[in-house]
Amino acid sequence: MKRIIKIYINNKSSVQQYLRDTLTAFHPSNFEKRSLIQFFETEKAAEFIYAVSSGYKQITPGYSRKKSDDTRVGYDKSYYFNGIQFNEDDTYISNPYLHHVTGNPVVTGVKKEGNDFIVIDFDLMQLLEELNFIEHNPLINKTNKFVIGTGGVLLGAVSLFLILYGGFIFISLLWGAPNQDILHAVFQSIISITIGLAIYDLAKHIIEHEILFKSTMHEDSSENAILAKFLNSIIIASSIESLMVIFKIVLDDYSNMINALYLILGVVLLIFARVALVRYGKFDR
């Protein structure tokens, strides 16, 4: 969404000039359905059209490519036209906004037709693609969603396995042989569950940001947020592992303490990376 709006702003004058020329060239003989929907035959980006009277009442159903909506016929549109300033060619182009039906970014074009008005919504992504400002391939997008979605589901399955495995270790510790390494088993259980939760959190955010709510997310911040939350879980798991190594060395052999130091330094570097993301990344903690 953010990338689409940025491309539109960078090419605003060209896009709006194209829309004005398109609206100016459109002259329906009347406001009957056939006369209005013929606009869809030439403009791939157009997705919704209707007519408004000089008294700012909607006088036709709203027509899309596949259906029509007559529930708003007679609605007062004066609130919308109060903020409109027409150009010399009797057209007006709105700023981008999210359509209340499709949820996609759109721009609305309005044209005076005699004493009445024609209102047309244009899908912004389709419009930018039509003008060669972006390349948008629905097949590739669907393929990406399928691959990412499958990967997210598999990561979720792996996380569930790790969580259950950690629970199994803990239960085995309660009911197992008394001579087993209790400290090692407890830490192993904690680490398994923590890493499982970290992977689950990663899978959840991948599916949410890339599949379910991609159009409403800010792309720059969402990527950093996913990485930061994953780092949180990894830092916790690594810290627990460091404590486990230190305790085992204290109980066994001090000569291996250098290995624990290296592990702790690695955790410190991860913490610095997390702090850098908070400070320089554009997202909320």
Helix (H, G, I), strand (E, B) or coil at 100: coil
How sure is the predictor about 80, in pLDDT bands with cuts at 50, 70 and 90? confident
The lowest-confidence range among 158-167, 181-190, 246-255 is 246-255
CATH code of the region 2-130: 3.30.450.20
Residue-wise pLDDT tens digits, 118-146: 999 999 988 888 888 876 666 777 788 88
Q: Can you read off the two tokens belonging to residue 39? A: 């606009």
Beta strands in 206-248 (DSSP E): none
Interval 149-173 mean pLDDT: 90
Helix (H) or strand (E) holding 76, with range, is none
Quote the pTM value.
0.54
Residue-wise pLDDT tens digits, 52-78: 998 999 999 999 888 888 888 988 988
- Residue spans per domain, the chain: 2-130, 138-280
How sure is the predictor about 285, in pLDDT bands with cuts at 50, 70 and 90? very low
CA distance 217 to 53: 37
At a CB cut-off of 8 Å and minimum separation 6, what does 22 contact? 43, 109
Contact criterion met (CB below 8 Å) for 120 and 109 = yes
CA distance 72 to 74: 6
